[in-house]
Structure 1
Amino acid sequence: MISIFDYIQKYPRRAKQLLGISYDQFTDLVNYAKNSHEEEQLKLEQKKVRIHRRGGGRKELLSIPEQVCLCLFYLRQIPTFEVLGIMFGISKTLSNDTFHYWRKILRKILPSSLIEQVENKEGDLLIIQEILTNFKLLVDSVEQPIDRPSDNEEQKKFFSGKKKQHTIKNQIVSLPEGKDIIDVTVGSPGPTADIKLFREQQTKFDEKQEFTGDKAYQGGNNITTPHKKKRKQQLNEQQKEENKALSSKRIFVEHLIRIVKIFQVASQRFRLNADVYNEIVLLVCGLVRLRIGTFVLPNSAIN
């Protein structure tokens, strides 16, 4: 059976369907990730109490490109680790270890949003916040199903009456036309009100920043929402037209969420340990930014 890595080498145009990013983006990501991998290995080497000479021990069964391919394939398709191991010719345990090793490295090098990309550079962050006031940012939320928590009080916190299941809610703020992910909030209990999440997220922006959202954000400051039909009343034609115009602008953040959900790990019932949920979804957002071309890997790190 041909492996997934060999398949995309033979048919590079299929990489986007299998891994979520194009073949060129995949090769650039591998070259960039190698640097972080070598740094991690150097740290481990310094901590070792060496008994055997350097270069001894069991050889890696998968090359670095194959390991990164395995990680991306899981995020995109979420097979079981046993099936994943079969597809890459390794054991279930090794496929699990390989995925978790590389998802940590990829998370470090792929910022999930523009705010995260510049947040450690105070001067850049202030400039970005000021520039963003020239745009009306789009905001929307999405719920993802999770396993029912075993603790009774905990499960009540995550039960979503809207979805009739236990969920986690994430919220995305994007540029107009969905051109980039500006900020993302992840890991809130499903029943949390959208407007509550928005008010917390709003503190990351300039006080003059304006937003556009759906009816769930009515009552928020500096946010435009559709007209809501009052009880026993109908919207007039002007209100209907304004709602239609607003919807045509807001639809782009929903398109962006659709791209996030292309990675099945951020769409289907979350099967991994709950402790890694936030990190996984933020990694997916970073991959989406790479996919749509708003985050470009530094040339200096690409061989």
Structure 2
Amino acid sequence: MAELVPEIGPLWQERHQARLAARPRKRAVGTGAKHRLVFVDRLLATLVRLRHGVTHDVLACWFGVDRSTITRAIGEVRPLLAERGCTVNPDVRLRSLADVVNHLGASGTTGIVDGTEIGVRRPAVGRKDRDKFISGKNKQNTVKSMVVTDGEGSVLWCSPARPASCADITHARQLGLVRLLAGEPAVRILTDAGYQGLGAQTGGRVVTPPHRKFKKNAPDWDEEMHERQRKAPSSRRIRVEHGIAHRKNWRALARHLGCREHMSDTIHAVAGLLSHQQTADLTSTRQS
């Protein structure tokens, strides 16, 4: 809180004043009723909502305001947290996939990519594209996000949410991963079998598990060799699962029961807060 208030507070105040000045007014800016919920409480309510999934009704009771006030406050603060980006060190923040690729190329770090799904409410009957949210893997209504971590499992970036009917490799292509890796020969990214095919398109920069040589009636020697080749990078690739698990400790990403339109901001806000915490813990460990 001590670090977030001076960073987010001026941005919130600036946008609040811009909204007041952008519409016709009969009273001067700054006059009229004052906020019953000050900015520190707005930020705290947003953090509690993201971390513990507390409903707006409960937060309204805690802070002694109306439910609509909490809803409006979270709607104002959450985009500001989402815009912070993921913290690599106190001076570097990554806000896009291009920033991540440039960082991996400059630092010589191996990246790990994987997709994760978050359960959401089923769209109403008769709504257009209702079946787009049904996951072929989980057989549930979910949204998908691509997560990029470094070799230690620290979150570097999370993609915006999109309906889970999209395949992992298609999602990566739509995000421009192939195009971005074309100009970074030193980048190496580990993925699972869901991204097979990107290795050939990126000149080997994306490393995926090998294909099976025999699909049926494979000899024992081929099974043993395939198992060794498959497990070789798995001990390194598992770190991205740790990063995903840390994200889902935040109840807002365990299962989202609110509006699906806010999922991208929620994902980016949690990723930024989590990466900042991981960086602070790593810095304190090195100093001690």
In structure 2, relative to structure 1, the CA distance for the partners of 1:69 and 1:156 (3 Å cut) is same
- How far the C-alpha of 1:276 sits from its partner, in A, is 2.1
Provide, for residues 147-179 of structure 1, a one-character-per-residue CA deviation record: whole Å limited to 9, x for no partner. Answer: 222336512222123212111111112221223
Alignment RMSD (CA, Å): 3.1
* SS of equivalent residue, structure 1 residue 177: coil
- The equivalent of 2:267 in structure 1 is 281
Q: Which of 237, 250, 258 matches 2:245?
A: 258
In the TM superposition, what are the counterparts of 1:1-303 in structure 2 within 5 Å?
Answer: 26-47=1-22, 51=26, 56-108=31-83, 110-112=84-86, 117=94, 128=103, 130-131=105-106, 134-150=108-124, 151=126, 154-181=129-156, 183-201=157-175, 202=177, 203-205=179-181, 206-208=183-185, 209-221=187-199, 222=204, 223-227=206-210, 230-233=215-218, 234=220, 236-268=223-255, 270-293=256-279
Write 1 or 2 for the structure with the bigger share of helix. 1
- The equivalent of 1:17 in structure 2 is none
- Are the equivalent residues in 1 in contact too, given 2:86–2:95 (CA < 8 A)? no
Provide, for residues 104-155 of structure 1, a one-character-per-residue CA deviation record: whole Å limited to 9, x for no partner. Answer: 22223x1157798366xx9x889536425x3332110011122222336512
- Are the equivalent residues in 1 in contact too, given 2:133–2:142 (CA < 8 A)? yes
TM-score (norm 2): 0.79
User: Which residue type is aligned with residue 204 of structure 1?
Assistant: L
- How far the C-alpha of 1:44 sits from its partner, in A, is 3.5
Identity percentage over the alignment?
A: 24
- How far the C-alpha of 1:90 sits from its partner, in A, is 1.6
Count of residues in Structure 1 that have an aligned counterpart in Structure 2 = 264
* SS of equivalent residue, structure 1 residue 171: strand
**2: distance between equivalents of 1:153 and 1:49?**
37
- How far the C-alpha of 1:53 sits from its partner, in A, is 6.3
In structure 2, relative to structure 1, the CA distance for the partners of 1:43 and 1:51 (3 Å cut) is same
Unaligned runs of 5+ in 2: 282-288
